[in-house]
Amino acid sequence: MNSNKLTLAAIFTLVSLVGSAPVSAQSTPWSAATASAKAASERGDNAAASMFYKQAIDIQKTTLGADNAEVAISLNNLAVFYQSQSMFPQAEQSYRQALAILQKDPAQNTSTALTLNNLAALYHDQNMDAKAAPMYARALKLFATLGPKFNSESAAAASTLADINFAQNQYDNAEALYLQAVSLWNAEGGPETTDMADAFFHLGEIYHYASNNTDAAPVYAHALSIWENASQMDNANSISAQATLGNIYRAQGKYAQAEPLLARTLQAKEHKLGSDNLEVADSLNNLALAYYCESKYDAAEPLYRRALEIREKNLGSSDPVVLQTIQFYAGVLRQEGRKADAEKIEARAAATSVAHL
């Protein structure tokens, strides 16, 4: 998940504590300034919006006191405005001012959790994950005390914290957090989302890195089913999942399941990267190997030939990967009864190796 997606999904404005019904423009002394701030923001007048937000906060401080929760809520919402304008230092300052007020009052745990989450997302957007991670962790602890009403917010925080741990190779922590996020999303009972697909994909990566393909395969497959339903089979994670799951199935001898995944991976990479890319060569090689394992030598041969052409073009004729591809290609030719052709390319490879000693 990229940072822009996370920001849009994870930043929360807070609701005034004055009554449960919508507040009219004249019901509090600061409402007019707040309404003017929102109107200025909507029309893109950011300087005026900032001025009116600050004006509302000043009125609240004078009317209610500097440590009133209403002031903290307005500070959070000012920070959200700053963050939307990429004014990150100003946003951080406002979030921290809000938290300094909210954390004094346990009755404000909901607002505290949401503001902590917002500050974490601010840091995460700036690739400051050393600061983001503890904020997400604190937010999660508070969300856990607030009941199922905040399952979706808690799931989003858990998933993002899992992403941070995953990027830092802290796979045990990441696995637990992804599973927590999935459990919370499932408890919501709504349709499975692409955020869930990303979580399943990363779980698959964790299990695959640990050579636990028994657990990796079903979560990769689950992620792919979500992406397919969302018509998002061409995103980077989906393509990677198809390739890895295809290779897992091939290694397990499940060729009928492996072939379409590897073929779709090849098609997607050719479309995205062009026909001469080394990743395309890898996909050609993987699909060719599946065909070879099934003794479909006539299908494997042109794929190995193309993989060899791409690798020679990009890496040179003496590269170890090129020489290995020649061995596989020659093996297919021999299986097809084309011994002379196999010996010809083997001799060329041998001559190249000698020339570069």
Find the mean pLDDT for residues 326-340. 94
Helices (H), 108-235: 109-125, 129-145, 151-167, 171-188, 194-209, 213-229
Are the C-beta atoms of 200 and 222 separated by less than 8 Å? yes
Domains of the chain and any CATH numbers: 191-273 (1.25.40.10), 299-357 (no CATH)
Is residue 111 within 8 Å of 102, Cβ to Cβ? yes
Instruction: Give the pLDDT score at 66.
Output: 95
Torsion angle of the four alpha carbons 154, 5, 87, 84, in this order, in degrees rounded to the nearest 10:
-90
In this prediction, residue 353 carries a pLDDT of: 58
Cα separation, 160 vs 6, in Å, equals 8
Per-residue pLDDT of 292-324, as tens digits, reads: 999 999 999 999 999 999 999 999 988 999 999
CA distances from 134 to 129, 138, 139, 274 (A): 9, 6, 9, 42
User: Which residues touch 94 (CB under 8 Å, ≥6 apart)?
Assistant: 75, 76, 78, 79, 82
- The pLDDT value given to residue 356: 47
Instruction: Give the whole-number percent of the chain exceeding pLDDT 70.
Output: 92
pLDDT, residue 351, reads: 73
Per-residue pLDDT of 75-125, as tens digits, reads: 998 999 999 899 999 999 999 999 999 999 999 999 999 999 999 999 999
What tokens does 327 get? 């061995």
User: Distance between CA atoms of 215 and 248, rounded to whole angstroms?
Assistant: 11
Q: How many CA atoms lie within 13 A of 129 on its CB side?
A: 11
pLDDT at 219 over 70: yes
Phi, psi values for residue 307, rounded to 5°: -60, -40
15 pLDDT tier (thresholds 50, 70, 90): confident
pLDDT at 190 over 90: no
Least confident of 24-28, 75-79, 213-217, 349-353: 24-28
Quick one: average pLDDT of 255-263?
97
Q: Which two tokens stand for residue 316?
A: 């040179």
Report d(CA 69, CA 15) in Å as an integer: 11
Cβ-in-10-Å burial (0-12, 13-18, 19+) of 334 comes to: middle
pLDDT for res 348? 78
Task: Determine which of 5-14, 50-59, 237-246, 339-348 has the lowest per-residue pLDDT on average.
Answer: 5-14
pLDDT > 50? residue 22: no
Q: Is 128 helix (H, G, I), strand (E, B) or coil?
A: coil
* Contact predicate 289/280, CB 8 Å: no
Q: Is the pLDDT of residue 18 over 60?
A: no
Q: What local confidence, expressed as pLDDT, does residue 16 receive?
A: 65
pLDDT at 327 over 80: yes
Sheet strands (E) in the chain: none
